Copies of this chain bind each other. A is one copy, B any other.
Amino acid sequence: MNNYSSKLLEEAVNELSRLPGIGRKSALRLALHLLKQDPQQVDNFGNSIIRMRNEILHCKICHNISDTDICEICANPKRDQSILCVVEDIRDVMAIENTSQFLGLYHILGGIISPMDGIGPQDLNIQSLVDRVKEGGIKEVIMALSTTIEGDTTNFYIYKQLKEFDIQITTIARGISIGDEIEYADEVTLGRSILNRLPYQSNV
């Protein structure tokens, strides 16, 4: 499939096929679908993505995606400012928020330590986590990373950075089967794993 009758179509297919999990045949199918839509709708489609990329902010406190400098969760005075939940990315925040079991604040690492992918501690929001704890007022840090080797490594690295402070470091209960990703866990299991969190025990 490479004789596109239109450069405009070919360019759109090229761009769509850069998305993860979308090959050239799927990209062509999507492009032809978009061609059948109302031009106004396609404008909205393209512009909503461009606007998102250009205007979205990251919360200066927890690094959550936000439309403002400080995200709604960090700005909410009803949330417990003394408990931090450390997660890999914003999908984990959404999954935990959906359980309604956690009323503290978050800290989004933006990934986990993964030497295979060239991601080291300096690529993640770990220093700002240490700074938050150093500032005081935090009693507990809950580690809610995926139960993979990389997640365990990251847990251990952060534990070493935080153990000098007078705080409790816990991990969510491993009710979620080892190897499963947090974002795909069912809400009941995930909610319970936050209620049943345990003192941190290194298994690296």
From B37, B46, B55, contact of A8 by CB (8 A): B55
- Taken together as a complex, chains A and B put the C-alpha atoms of A21 and B21 apart, in Å, by 12
Within A34-54, which residues are at the interface with B (CB < 8 Å)? 34-35, 37, 39, 42-54
A166 contacts the other chain (CB 8 A): no
Residues of B close to A9: CB separation below 8 A: 52, 56, 65
Residues of B close to A169: CB separation below 8 A: none
- Taken together as a complex, chains A and B put the C-alpha atoms of A54 and B8 apart, in Å, by 10
A2 contacts the other chain (CB 8 A): yes
Please judge, given known A-B contacts A5-B64, A32-B89, whether A15 and B44 are in contact too, CB under 8 Å. yes
Tell me the minimal C-beta distance from A143 to chain B in angstroms: 21
**Chain A residues proximal to chain B, CB less than 8 Å:** 1-9, 11-12, 14-16, 18-21, 26, 28-35, 37, 39, 42-57, 59, 64-67, 71-73, 89-91, 93-95, 97-98
The reply to whether B5 and A35 contact each other, CB–CB distance below 8 Å, is no
The reply to whether A3 and B52 contact each other, CB–CB distance below 8 Å, is no
The reply to whether A47 and B48 contact each other, CB–CB distance below 8 Å, is no
The reply to whether A39 and B54 contact each other, CB–CB distance below 8 Å, is yes
Copies in the complex: 2
- Taken together as a complex, chains A and B put the C-alpha atoms of A23 and B39 apart, in Å, by 22
- Taken together as a complex, chains A and B put the C-alpha atoms of A30 and B17 apart, in Å, by 12
Residues of B close to A67: CB separation below 8 A: 6-8
Please judge, given known A-B contacts A1-B95, A8-B67, whether A53 and B30 are in contact too, CB under 8 Å. no
The reply to whether A47 and B45 contact each other, CB–CB distance below 8 Å, is no
The reply to whether B33 and A20 contact each other, CB–CB distance below 8 Å, is yes
The reply to whether B91 and A15 contact each other, CB–CB distance below 8 Å, is no
User: What are 27 A-B pairs at a CB distance below 8 A?
Assistant: A1-B91, A1-B94, A1-B98, A2-B94, A3-B97, A4-B94, A5-B59, A6-B52, A6-B56, A11-B48, A12-B49, A14-B48, A15-B44, A15-B49, A20-B33, A28-B91, A31-B49, A32-B89, A32-B90, A35-B52, A35-B53, A37-B53, A45-B46, A45-B50, A46-B46, A46-B49, A46-B50
